[in-house]
Every structure is written in C-alpha cells, then in structure tokens.
Amino acid sequence: MVDSFSFVGGGLSGLEPALLFDLSIVHLLTWVGFLLAVVIIAQMLGEKRNPGNLFAWALAVLLVPVIGVPLYFFFGGRKSRRLVRKKRQLLDALRHRTGEDVPEDQLQHIRRTEGNRCELLPDGPSAFRAILEGIEEAEHSIHIMTYILSEDEAGKPIVEALQRKAREGVEVRLLLDAFGCLGNGGTWLRELRAAGAKTARFMPLLPLHSHTSANLRNHRKIALFDHRKAVTGGQNLDRRFMGPVDGPEVFRDFSVVLEGPVVRPLTFLFLNDWLFASGERLENYKPLFDLHPAPVGDKELEVIESGPEIAADSLYERIIELVQDAQEEITIVTPYFVPDEVLFRSLLVKARSGKRVRLVLPRKSNHPVVDLARYPFLRRLHNGGVEILLYTPGMVHGKLILFDDRVALSGSANFDMRSLFVNFEMGILHTDPNDIAAFRQWTATIIAETTPLTDDHLPEGRGRRFLEDVAHVFSPLL
C-alpha cells in the first residue's frame, strides 16, 4: 500500500530506476520521431508534392512516427538529386560528343524520331520468341534491363542463350531491378558472369543507400540487340508474362519490336541506368554516342523517359495533355488504376462532356490492396458516364492508352501514382495509322472477354467501404 500510495501521490518517485530509464527512452524516441516527422513534412512541402501523396505520408509519420518515419526513409523518396546530376553529366557528354542542341533544363530525354519500323507482339509466346531471336542474331552487343527475371521456363532459356552469346564474344549486359528480382539470380547469374557477361542490380536494398530511397524502382523493360533492334513494353522475363506456350495463367500483355533511329534514345536510356547501377565510367561508352541507326521504315515514334532522375514528370504531363486534347474517345488498358486527382478529374470531365471514355481493367488483379484503392475512383467514374470494362478470364497486364484514332501510348507505366510519380518508367508515343489499328485490334480482343461494370460489381457494406477508404487514403503510397 505504501508503494502504491507513493506512486500515486509522488508522481514517478515510486517507480524502479530501470523502468524510469525505459520510460525516458520512450519519451525521447517519441520526441525524436515527432521532430523527424516535422522535418519530413517540411521537405515534402519544399518538393511541391502531389497533395494526396503529401497527406498520406504526413498521416503516417505524425500518427505512427515509430513506423512511419523509418518507412519514409526507406520508401518515401520521389526525386533524387544525385540521379539528376548523373543525367546532366550524360546529357553534357552527349552534347559535347555529338553537337546536339540539348537545353540544360530539359532532363526528361524526350526524343522524337522518324524512319522507324514497329511490330506489335500481341502475347507472351511472340515476345518470348522475339527476344530469343534477337539474342541469337546479335553479333556485337546485347543489352537487357527488366524489372523481373525469374528462374523458370521463361527466364532460364533467355539466360542460357545469353551465356552462349557471351562465350562467343558478344558484349552482354543484364540490368535487373533489385526489388523486382529479390530472391532471384544466384548460381545461374554467377554462371552468366563466368561466361563473360556483365550484370548489375539497380539500387540494391542492402546495404541501404543513403543518397536515395529504396522506393525508387526501375520498372523499365528494354532489350537491345546490336543497337539496331529493340523489344520493349510491359512484359517481364517471367512465366507469368511470356514463355514458349500460352495458357490461362499467363497475363494478357504485349510488347513491340522497334527498329530504326528510335533505337538511339533507347540506347541512351539503358546506358544511363546501367552507368548508375554498375558504377562504370561514362568514358567507356562514348563511342555509342556516334551510333545513328539507319532509317528502316516510315513511322514517327517518340520515346518519353520518366523517373526520379528527372525534374519534371514528363510522362504524366504528356498523358494529361493528350487526355485534355482528345476530341472523341479515350481508351485506357491498365492492370492497376489509382490516378491522382488531376488525371481523375480530367477523365470525369471528358465523360461528362459527351466524349467516350473507356477503362479496361482486370476484374481481379494480382494486388488486392490496389484493387481496394481503385473502387472509390470507379464508383465516381461509373456514375459520371465512364465505360468501365472488367476482364474476367484472368489478369490484364498490358499498358496502353488510345486517344481518338490518332495517338497511342505504350510502354512500362501503369495508370497509378507509383508509375507516374515514383518509378523509373518509359513510354512510346505512336502516331502511325497502322500502329493505331494494330493496337485497336489487340484492345478489341481484350474487350471481347470483358464484362461491363454495373452497380452489382461495386461491393457495398460498411466494413468494405471502410477498407476501401483506408486504401484510398494511402493510395499515393501503393
């Protein structure tokens, strides 16, 4: 009783010294967490972030600083000053080497070229064959970067083919994203290096990098063969995306084969990412600046690079421009739909003004939390007149936007805030009528297996709405 009375009447005097020490540590950590949260919020305000992204991170670091603050340092970065400096170095070297007039403030590496050829690869087997054929035909160099490479019936044949070409003396470079390939690439990649190939991992998670965030992932997919042919799109080197045979478990996706002058900006894009990940010197690659692939067709293509190394959000800004310029119809095919407020409002305004806006999504994607986050958007778009089509047989992973019958945007970016504001991404802008027709035909095959979204597809209930609201609040972090 005396001890209890001493505790109540004398404040903390009745507590054991060890417990007092523990409480002091907790108190100190709370204040440190709060101060770091204030610093983080000030930094985000200075970066002029999207309000949704800022609000989501502010909630996390203020309400649960012991969890939110470490997560921010690990996952919260969006732009990297070091990457911007590296990009500037590459552009300066390019300008000095070629005499091209590249303005200092244009770091987005937007490139428009003429005289190209483009072929649509409509499924996994065709993309798989195109990559293997490109490897077998290569005589000088093979440069591949991908988000996912798996040791399965898709990834193994590709790595084995790379080993053979490396032994023949072909320069082979393989760039993998460290997070996307987490757990993949042990013995078989060592064997690839032993054959003479070079490999690198983009931003390894351990040890943690102090100069940037582990949240910044390289989501680009490019395969370059002799700097004259490229295969690019949204497909990873994984059985879920491609392989020798098709099947119901394979994601519906596509890639494109590109030839002509467009390969030059794609080469620079790969080179910049490779130099950052490998630590090699820029001087070793200056001869590549003199490469000018000859015209092989009559198509104009534009490469749009977007990512944390670029001061502007070039891909996002181009999508906004094209959405607002659309006169009749916008069709969006994407696996994940978590737009920012500006894109969301732009689509809603287009639909309410009488334009046809179609959104093609998988009924269930491979990321349930992202599916939860999309429903607040889908309800409002559905009520606003947007035609929402749900692909029912499986997973759609293709990334394609069609604007009227005049422009198509393909590439690696999903229609979500992670792709548009955080990841390293790329897009290809197509204006050739034949390309547009091929993309429309591919889209038609997907739409043929969709079901229009109705009120019956919109889950109700307080518990469900609460989960959706929570996922929606934190959607900028997904």
Domain ranges in the chain are 2-75, 81-299, 314-477
Counting every residue, how long is the chain? 478
Summarize pLDDT for 38-74 with one digit per residue, the tens: 665 565 555 545 555 555 666 666 665 655 555 555 5
pTM attached to this predicted model = 0.81
Using alpha carbons, select from 422, 404, 405 the residue that is nearest to residue 413.
422
**Is the peptide bond preceding residue 207 cis, with omega within 30 degrees of 0?**
yes
The tokens of 376 are what? Answer: 């607040």
CA distance 226 to 331: 35
Taking the C-alpha atoms of residue 430 and residue 3, their distance in angstroms, rounded to an integer, is 79
Euclidean distance between CA atoms 100 and 15, whole angstroms: 73
CATH 3.30.870.10 matches 314-477: yes
Q: Is the pLDDT of residue 88 over 60?
A: no
Q: Provide the pLDDT for residue 7.
A: 40
User: In the predicted model, is pLDDT for residue 438 greater than 90?
Assistant: yes
pLDDT the model gives residue 1? 41
Give the pLDDT of residue 34.
61
Mean pLDDT (whole number) for 134-158: 95
Alpha carbon 422 to its chain centroid, in Å, reads 7
Say whether pLDDT at 224 is over 90: yes
Q: How many Å apart are CA 145 and CA 272, to the nearest integer?
A: 12
Q: What is the pLDDT of residues 255-278, one digit of tens each?
A: 999 999 999 999 988 988 898 888
- Residues 188 and 157: beta-carbon distance below 8 Å: no
SS3 462: helix
What pLDDT score was predicted for residue 431? 97
pLDDT in the model for residue 104: 41
* Cβ pair 397, 233 in contact under 8 A: no
What percent of the chain shows pLDDT beyond 70?
70
Give the Cα separation of 402 and 432 in Å (integer): 12
Rounded distance, CA 108 to CA 380, Å?
A: 33
Q: Distance between CA 254 and CA 73 in Å, rounded?
A: 35
CATH class as words, domain 81-299: alpha beta
Percentage of residues of the chain with pLDDT beyond 90: 52
Calpha distance 248→394 (Å, rounded): 7
106-125: b or e for each residue (b if 16 or more CB lie within 10 Å)? ebbbbbebebbbbbbbbbbb
Give the pLDDT band of residue 209 (cuts 50, 70, 90). very low
